[in-house]
Amino acid sequence: MVNNRALTHATLVAASLLALSACKDAPAPAGPRTAMESASLSRDESALGEDVRQDLAGLRQVTARFHRPEAAAAAGWSAQITPCMTDPAGTGAMGFHYGNPSLIDGSVRADSPELLLYEPDENGRLRLVAVEYIVPLSVWTSPHPPRLFDRDFRVNEAFQVWALHAWVWKENPSGMFADWNPMVFCAHA
């Protein structure tokens, strides 16, 4: 007879080892999360459904290696789409947007963000803070908006795209899927 507690423990250990082995070649984030960032991410994510939390964990695993911008560029996220963007209304910033043109095809997948968002630090390095999913308005034919993470994309008229942000690498007091982050700054751009 199998002990359920032992089986659950063995499953968790195996899953942890698999996750660690997948990340062994991935560099650590540009800077460690502060206790406040970790707590805020946990609070924000704890209100999300289990499927969404799993999708966000998968997204982090897929994008962990892109903390090094040169790794992102080598993998296809080499097109600088915007300069460091700050909201004129003062609600925060997004940072630089780097895109993978081959992914801007009208489809949406949680593990394939079209854009990576980077915040410049005081030493001129770029820190991965978020991803953005975009779909050109001209190619989306459904009467309903694109949807990921149990969220509808929003129309961005300026760029003529449907868009959804996911702040998976930097805490956002405005929410995981908000457009602007008051904790992101372009002062060192």
For residue range 67-116, list pLDDT tens digits in order. 999 999 999 999 999 999 999 999 999 999 999 999 999 999 999 999 99
| Residue 51 in this model has a pLDDT that exceeds 50 | yes
* 12-26, 118-132, 159-173: the lowest-pLDDT one: 12-26
Is 171 part of a structural domain of the chain? no
Is 178 part of a structural domain of the chain? no
Dihedral, 120, 122, 125, 129 alpha carbons, nearest 10? -40
Is 172 part of a structural domain of the chain? no
Is 92 part of a structural domain of the chain? yes
Dihedral, 113, 119, 123, 125 alpha carbons, nearest 10? 10
What was the pLDDT predicted at 45? 73
| Residue 125 in this model has a pLDDT that exceeds 70 | yes
What was the pLDDT predicted at 47? 80
Is 105 part of a structural domain of the chain? yes
Distance of alpha carbon 115 from alpha carbon 168, whole angstroms: 13
- The 3-class secondary structure across the chain, one letter per residue, is CCCHHHHHHHHHHHHHHHHHHHHCCCCCCCCCCCHHHHHHHHHHHHCCCHHHHHHHHHHHHHHHHHHCHHHHHHCCCCEEEEEEEECCCCCCEEEEEEECHHHCCCCCCCCCCCEEEEEECCCCCEEEEEEEEEEECCCCCCCCCCEECCEECEEECCCCEEEEEECCCCCCCCCCCCCCECCCCCCCC
What was the pLDDT predicted at 74? 98
What was the pLDDT predicted at 44? 62
The average pLDDT across 166-178 equals 96
Is 150 part of a structural domain of the chain? yes
Domain limits for position 74: 4-166
User: Structural domain tally of the chain?
Assistant: 1
Distance of alpha carbon 179 from alpha carbon 40, whole angstroms: 17
Is 181 part of a structural domain of the chain? no
What was the pLDDT predicted at 116? 98
What tokens does 107 get? 């489809």
| Residue 127 in this model has a pLDDT that exceeds 70 | yes
> For the chain, what is the mean pLDDT?
82
Is 127 part of a structural domain of the chain? yes
Band (pLDDT 50/70/90 cuts) for residue 48 is confident
